[in-house]
């Protein structure tokens, strides 16, 4: 029988890489891709827990995460496009007018 | 550990690390596609055929294409500058990332979760039927809420991306009048610009046509009768 630990380890590694990417990348679109990577890592954990417990609730949760991710991407990319129109840049450093 | 895991996990980790270091956003998108397809195959090996299909269709199909779409609009050739705006931020981020990873991996290593039960029993009537049972019974309120969320997101994106037209659109007749007036006033070439010909190296609209001797066509020389524009235009045809 398989253990769930390798899958959780992979999920953890992907999640951390995504988090580091959010912190060190400058392009807003790449930052957004790293957020997607973190969501995907969480999905992997949910699906492997579903397999661990032998019921489908984890898969339903992963499905909901995908739906929310799709909605989030649509709005986020629209915001990035709006910022690009006014600032002519997709860098997260340039949208700093609201900074105190 | 299954063979799927052993083969895919290193590939996915390498691709994910690549997202941190590549400078072009398009390359990051392609590396993300590798990770997502790898995850899809892991889902398939974890008895989740429905999520396997959804992962491919929704993530690599829709979300990643949306990313590439916006990349094309926002400029594909933008490269990240390597200069740090906050000094020491990158080193600190890497340090705390490594600390988080160590913490989480230690946590995962400490857990004794037992072996996987497998979904043979839960999937006995089929994976999709099982998920549908849960989705339309226990989680039906959440399912209805996602429909509201999706509609709100779609309308929100439309409102954000919408731009009101400030000047009226010129009709074809007005465009033709303007073109003839420019021809009369400063002798601008009346016809369309010469297309990128067979001698051009690219068929993009931005590429000027090449003259038979290989030099790019100077559109300023396509001028009125008094200059030698007509002779030149004839040569291009």
Residue whose pair of structure tokens reads 């974890």 in the numeric block: B46
ipTM of the complex: 0.93
Q: Return residues 137-196 of B near A (CB < 8 Å).
A: 139, 142, 146, 149-150, 152-154, 156-157, 160-161, 163
pLDDT at residue B77 greater than cutoff 70: no
Q: For residues B63 and B154, what is the distance between their CA atoms, to the nearest angstrom?
A: 14
**Where does chain B show beta strands of DSSP type E?**
none
A-chain CB neighbours of B59 within 8 Å are 36, 40, 66, 69
Length of chain B (residues)? 237
pLDDT tens for each residue of B105-161: 999 988 888 788 878 888 888 889 999 999 999 999 999 999 999 999 999 999 988
Q: Does B129 touch chain A (CB under 8 A)?
A: no
DSSP labels, A5-49: HHHHHHHHHHHHHHHHHHHH--BHHHHHHHHHHHHHHHHHHHHHH
pTM recorded for the entire structure: 0.79
Q: Determine the distance from the C-alpha atom of residue B101 to the mean position of all C-alpha atoms in its chain, rounded to a whole number.
A: 29
For residue B185, the surrounding DSSP H or E stretch is helix B172-186
pLDDT tens for each residue of A46-62: 999 999 998 899 999 99
Q: Distance from A97 to chain B by nearest Cα, in Å? A: 16
| A21-47: average pLDDT | 93
- Predicted local confidence at residue B64, as pLDDT: 92
Q: Determine the distance from the C-alpha atom of residue A43 to the mean position of all C-alpha atoms in its chain, rounded to a whole number.
A: 10
Residue whose pair of structure tokens reads 């010129």 in the numeric block: B170
Q: For residues B186 and B229, what is the distance between their CA atoms, to the nearest angstrom?
A: 13
């Amino acid at each position: 029988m398989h253990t769930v630990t390798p899958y959780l380890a992979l999920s953890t590694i992907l999640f951390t890489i995504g988090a580091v990417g959010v912190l060190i990348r400058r392009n807003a679109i790449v930052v957004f891709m790293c957020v997607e990577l973190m969501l995907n890592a969480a999905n992997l954990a949910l699906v492997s827990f579903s397999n661990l417990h032998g019921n489908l609730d984890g898969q339903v949760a992963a499905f909901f995460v995908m739906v929310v991710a799709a909605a989030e991407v649509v709005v986020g990319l629209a915001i990035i496009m709006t910022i690009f129109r006014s600032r002519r840049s997709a860098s997260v450093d340039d949208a700093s007018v609201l900074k105190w | 550990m299954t063979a799927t895991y052993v083969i895919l996990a290193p590939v996915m980790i390498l691709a994910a690390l690549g997202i941190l270091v590549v400078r072009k956003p398009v390359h990051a998108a392609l590396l993300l596609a590798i990770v997502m397809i790898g995850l899809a195959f892991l889902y398939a090996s974890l008895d989740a055929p429905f999520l396997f299909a959804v992962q491919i269709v929704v993530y690599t199909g829709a979300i990643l294409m949306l990313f590439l779409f916006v990349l094309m609009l926002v400029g594909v050739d933008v490269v990240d500058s390597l200069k740090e705006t906050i000094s020491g931020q990158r080193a600190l981020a890497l340090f705390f990332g490594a600390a988080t990873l160590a913490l989480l991996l230690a946590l995962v290593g400490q857990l004794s979760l037992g072996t996987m039960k497998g979904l043979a029993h839960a999937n006995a009537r089929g994976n999709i039927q099982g998920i549908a049972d849960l989705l339309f019974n226990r989680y039906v309120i959440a399912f209805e809420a996602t429909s509201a969320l999706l509609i709100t997101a779609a309308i929100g994106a439309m409102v954000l991306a919408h731009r009101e037209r400030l000047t009226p659109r010129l009709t074809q007749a007005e465009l033709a009048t303007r073109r003839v007036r420019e021809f009369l006033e400063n002798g601008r070439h009346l016809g369309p610009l010469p297309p990128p010909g067979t001698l051009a190296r690219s068929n993009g609209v931005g590429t000027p046509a090449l003259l038979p001797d290989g030099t790019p066509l100077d559109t300023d020389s396509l001028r009125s009768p008094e200059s030698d524009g007509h002779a030149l235009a004839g040569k291009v045809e």
